[in-house]
């Protein structure tokens, strides 16, 4: 009786296939969204991939796979990215969500193409990573937000970042999901199979074993590797670092209309920390980190701004990494982090290399201004160059400014250049009281594990944080409250396997996807050729 009921339920979707698949596509997208911060429900991601795989996999038309994948993508990205439209209206938010959903649609198409190959959970999981790679690269330099890895900072898969970076974490989540889908399909097949001979021919034991391995191997590997992560307190030597969160007068796109007030806030909070140090209430830092846009008044051109920063650095007795907007001779600007060392003034600097389209600059400006009155509020920033490392009192610090941390390549040059400590200075005031800051914090936690380095997040309005090399958040500030986080952090020179191999894992997954698609294409061509030959033979046998 139970078997009959379960079998009847399994047959339900065949009665209204489009409706059932549409509903399950939306459910899959919502599950993926639910796995992202500030919610700690990381385990929803593999479940979402399982539901999505069951939805798009099949023998029907490829465009149906794309359509269901696109629908899942909308259900994922629309609730994930509303912060992109807080101050500019819903059009940019919905347009960006739709563009991102196209890549989930492509995943659905490829899944329908390769989903019948032997070992299909592996090929489908690699297809997910390939879709993430394409989305992180094209157009306009890509948009990596919403990669599966960035929802796993609290999960079992985190330690895998030290082996293969964010791509391996995404692959692990996807493979767990496709493995779960394979198990469910085998269960359904067993329930629906009436003939014992058919069950024997299907060899269910082998199928279940293969699916179970795909389901369990990555979570087990992640848990096993967790104990191998570096001790967050161990390093070549230890320094004291302070992160200053000065906060802003008001949120929104025009927060920098009070640029002097923002600079004053960060100077004031640094001087307050200096007084606490003099009173013996805090430890004197070896280096102080201010956030992105802490000085939107160019201190290389404005003597008042330079004097204020010099005063703060001299009083705290340490160099300050100042997030500043610098005006170039051609009136373009750079988003820079400058090492400012007391009376000695400015030293080395990092000019942001991966700048944000539609924010820091506007591609195809004359075209996009037709769609939004906010288009001309985009900046005229230009990308910088260099290896991403600044030196402050002999400390090599790798810098990824705000948006850069979403990209795998942001810290790669810095690590090759010998970064001993990582920092993400960021300004989240332009995104209001949204989930954006928590999503970005999770990315920083992934990067800390990926490269085996302590990492400091300094934000204008929050959340600022001190992150250990094992991804744990050791200190965290509230939003919209001036704060100074002070911590002893280890410096390291040894590198993780992920740092050594760089982008190689992602390239392997892309190559796997391309190879699987090529095999399917060759098979289809061979099948068509065989059918054509059969027809010719049959026609030749008919008497003339």
Q: Which residues are catalytic?
A: 292, 352, 402
Residue 180 token pair = 């779960």
* C-beta atoms surrounding 523 within 10 Å: 12
- Pair 485, 243: CB distance under 8 Å: yes
Point out which residues pair with 320 in neighbouring strands.
288, 340
- Strands (E) across 78-154 are located at none
- Cα–Cα distance for residue pair 405/345, rounded to 1 Å: 28
Cβ atoms 397, 348 nearer than 8 A:
no
What is the Rg, in whole angstroms, of the alpha carbon atoms belonging to the chain? 27
The residues pairing with 338 across neighbouring beta strands, listed in sequence order, are 322, 349
Question: What phi, psi does 423 have (nearest 5°)?
Answer: -145, 150
Cis peptide before 139 (omega within 30 of 0): yes
Q: Which structure tokens are listed for 205?
A: 């034991």
Helix (H) or strand (E) holding 536: helix 504-541
Decide: 437 and 398 in contact? Cβ < 8 Å.
Answer: no
Sequence-ordered alpha helix ranges (H) in 301-411: 303-316, 365-368
Cα separation, 473 vs 161, whole angstroms = 16
Please name the residue ranges forming H helices in 39-119: 44-56, 62-80, 90-114
Cβ-based burial of 301 (10 A; exposed 0-12, middle 13-18, buried ≥19): exposed
* DSSP tally for the chain: helices H, then strands E: 16, 12
Strands 333-340 and 237-245 turn out to be unpaired
Burial class of residue 208, CB neighbours in 10 A (0-12, 13-18, 19+): middle
The alpha carbon of residue 172 and the mean position of all alpha carbons in its chain are separated, in whole angstroms, by 15
User: Where is 544: in which H helix or E strand?
Assistant: none
Helix axes 161-192, 504-541, angle to 10 degrees: 40
Q: Which two tokens stand for residue 281?
A: 């209430």
């Amino acid at each position: 009786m139970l078997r009959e009921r379960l079998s009847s339920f399994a047959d339900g979707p065949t009665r209204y296939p489009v409706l059932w698949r549409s509903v399950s596509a939306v459910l899959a997208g919502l599950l993926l969204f639910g796995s992202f911060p500030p919610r700690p429900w990381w385990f929803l991601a593999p479940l979402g991939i399982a539901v999505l795989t069951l939805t798009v996999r099949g023998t029907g038309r490829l465009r149906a796979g794309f359509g269901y994948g696109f629908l899942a993508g909308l259900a994922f990205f629309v609730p994930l990215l509303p912060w992109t439209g807080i101050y500019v209206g819903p059009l940019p938010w919905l347009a960006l969500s739709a563009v991102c959903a196209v890549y989930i649609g492509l995943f659905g198409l490829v899944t329908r193409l390769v989903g019948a190959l032997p070992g299909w959970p592996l090929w489908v999981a690699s297809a997910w990573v390939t879709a993430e790679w394409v989305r992180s690269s094209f157009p306009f330099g890509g948009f990596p937000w919403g990669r599966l890895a960035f929802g796993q900072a609290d999960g079992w898969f985190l330690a895998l970042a030290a082996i293969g970076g964010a791509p391996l974490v995404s692959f692990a989540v996807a493979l767990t999901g496709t493995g779960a889908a394979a198990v469910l399909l085998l269960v359904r097949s067993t329930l629906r199979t009436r003939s014992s001979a058919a069950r024997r021919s299907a060899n269910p034991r082998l199928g279940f074993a293969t699916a179970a391995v795909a389901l369990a191997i990555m979570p087990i590997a992640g848990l096993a590797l967790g104990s191998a992560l570096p001790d967050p307190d161990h390093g070549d030597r230890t320094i004291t670092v302070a992160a200053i969160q000065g906060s802003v007068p008001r949120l929104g796109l025009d927060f920098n209309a009070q640029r002097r007030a923002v600079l004053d806030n960060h100077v004031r909070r640094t001087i307050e920390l200096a007084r606490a140090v003099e009173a013996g209430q805090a430890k004197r830092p070896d280096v102080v980190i201010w956030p992105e846009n802490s000085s939107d008044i160019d201190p290389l051109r404005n003597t008042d701004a330079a004097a204020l920063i010099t005063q703060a650095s001299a009083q705290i007795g340490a160099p300050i990494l100042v997030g500043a907007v610098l005006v170039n001779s051609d009136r373009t600007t750079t988003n820079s982090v400058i090492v400012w060392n007391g009376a000695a003034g400015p030293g080395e600097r990092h000019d942001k290399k991966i700048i944000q389209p539609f924010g820091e600059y506007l591609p195809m400006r004359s075209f996009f201004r037709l769609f939004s009155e906010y288009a001309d509020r985009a900046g005229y920033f230009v990308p910088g160059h260099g290896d991403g490392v600044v030196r402050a009192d002999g400390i090599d610090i790798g810098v990824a400014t705000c948006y850069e941390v979403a990209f795998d390549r942001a810290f790669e040059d810095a690590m090759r250049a010998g970064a001993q400590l990582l920092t993400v200075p960021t300004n989240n005031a332009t995104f209001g009281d949204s989930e954006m800051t928590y999503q970005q914090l999770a990315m920083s936690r992934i990067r800390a594990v990926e490269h085996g380095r302590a990492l400091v997040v300094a934000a204008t309005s929050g959340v600022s944080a001190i992150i250990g090399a094992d991804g744990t958040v050791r200190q965290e500030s509230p939003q919209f409250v001036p704060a100074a986080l002070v911590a002893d952090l280890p410096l390291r020179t040894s590198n993780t396997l992920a740092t050594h191999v760089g982008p190689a894992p992602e390239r392997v997954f892309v190559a796997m996807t391309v190879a699987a698609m090529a095999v399917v294409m060759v098979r289809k061509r061979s099948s068509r050729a065989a059918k054509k030959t059969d027809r010719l033979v049959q026609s030749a046998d008919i008497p003339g």
